[in-house]
């Protein structure tokens, strides 16, 4: 039996291959699901009409476009992402005041400190050197400018994220232990860790608040997401059709038990993090 793949260590490769492709394929669904978080983020990070904002790990650009609309044509929201396929989709949707660049936000030169805010929806937990990445982002902001991002709390606060893995486990080889601090979805689950990273990289007035956002999702959509993204998707990649079928059935049954009238009343358990350059 083969081992279940560990979380990706080469994030650039992951987001340009399997991970990025899954987001490309499911982009409309993901944007719909995460729209309530976009609304909170854009409202909180908005620095005023005509200002300049960085969107870190912007993916296909929904939050960049949302911010650009609020900033107006005199403003700029610059979406930065390491994934070629996702930036391609973002560029195809660009509007006045929204620009996109395919780059690593850890090292990208944002120019003289000229931005009025930086924001991210789930795009800052994948850096290989968190301290250096946040210092680089800070260098692109004017003194006193605000950083606002949403990241996931621990899996126990996001039970829907683990139901599929649990249901699939009996049909798959054992998962090797993973490092909870490694870059990945839940790397910022510990608020003390996030606070330390921001403090060491020069940020001030750090606040980390709970953000529990209802993100109800139709049962078939959640089944699709659970099988196409995250640990179950990675584990299924090397499996034959018989195993895939059993896993699909187990995941469908487990998630159906959570649904009310065909909708799973999911709540995204996140941190809303703010700090000043």
Q: Which residues bind ligand SAM (CB under 6 A)?
A: 11, 15, 30, 34, 57-59, 62-63, 80-83, 86, 104-106, 121-123, 126-127
The CA-based angle 175-180-186, given to 5 degrees, is 100
Length of the chain: 277
* Smallest separation, CB 93 to ligand SAM (Å): 12
Q: Give 208: exposed, middle or buried? Use CB within 10 Å, 0-12, 13-18, 19+.
A: middle
For ligand SAM, the closer of residues 86 and 145 by Cβ is 86
For ligand SAM, the closer of residues 81 and 252 by Cβ is 81
* Smallest separation, CB 261 to ligand SAM (Å): 27
For ligand SAM, the closer of residues 30 and 164 by Cβ is 30
* Smallest separation, CB 9 to ligand SAM (Å): 12
For ligand SAM, the closer of residues 63 and 165 by Cβ is 63
SS3 call for 103: coil
Q: Give 218: exposed, middle or buried? Use CB within 10 Å, 0-12, 13-18, 19+.
A: middle
* Smallest separation, CB 80 to ligand SAM (Å): 5
* Smallest separation, CB 256 to ligand SAM (Å): 26
Contacts of range 261-264, beta carbons closer than 8 Å, 24 or more positions apart: 262/218, 262/219, 263/216, 263/217, 263/218, 263/219, 264/160, 264/216, 264/217, 264/218, 264/219, 264/222
């Amino acid at each position: 039996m083969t081992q279940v793949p560990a979380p990706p260590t080469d994030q650039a490769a992951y987001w340009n291959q399997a991970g990025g492709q899954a987001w490309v394929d499911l982009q409309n669904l993901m944007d719909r699901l995460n729209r309530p978080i976009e609304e909170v983020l854009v409202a909180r990070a908005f620095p005023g009409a005509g200002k300049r904002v960085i969107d870190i790990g912007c993916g296909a650009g929904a939050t960049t476009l949302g911010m650009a609309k609020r900033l107006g044509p005199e403003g700029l929201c610059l979406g930065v992402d390491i994934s070629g396929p996702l930036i391609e989709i973002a560029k195809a949707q660009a509007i006045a005041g929204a620009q996109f660049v395919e780059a690593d936000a850890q090292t990208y030169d944002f120019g003289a400190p000229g931005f009025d805010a930086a924001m991210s929806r789930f795009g800052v937990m994948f850096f290989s050197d968190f301290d250096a990445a946040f210092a680089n982002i800070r260098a692109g902001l004017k003194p006193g400018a605000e950083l606002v991002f949403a990241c996931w709390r621990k899996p126990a606060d996001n039970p829907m994220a683990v139901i599929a893995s649990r249901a699939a486990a009996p049909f798959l080889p054992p998962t090797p232990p993973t490092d909870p601090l490694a870059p990945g979805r839940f790397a910022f689950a510990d608020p003390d860790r996030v606070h330390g990273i921001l403090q060491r990289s020069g940020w001030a007035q750090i606040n980390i608040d709970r953000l529990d956002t209802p993100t109800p999702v139709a049962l078939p959509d959640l089944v699709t997401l659970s099988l196409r993204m995250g640990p179950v998707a990675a584990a299924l990649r090397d499996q034959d059709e018989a195993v895939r079928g059993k896993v699909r059935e187990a995941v469908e049954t487990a998630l159906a038990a959570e649904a009310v009238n065909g909708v799973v009343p999911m709540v995204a358990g996140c941190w809303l993090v703010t700090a000043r350059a």
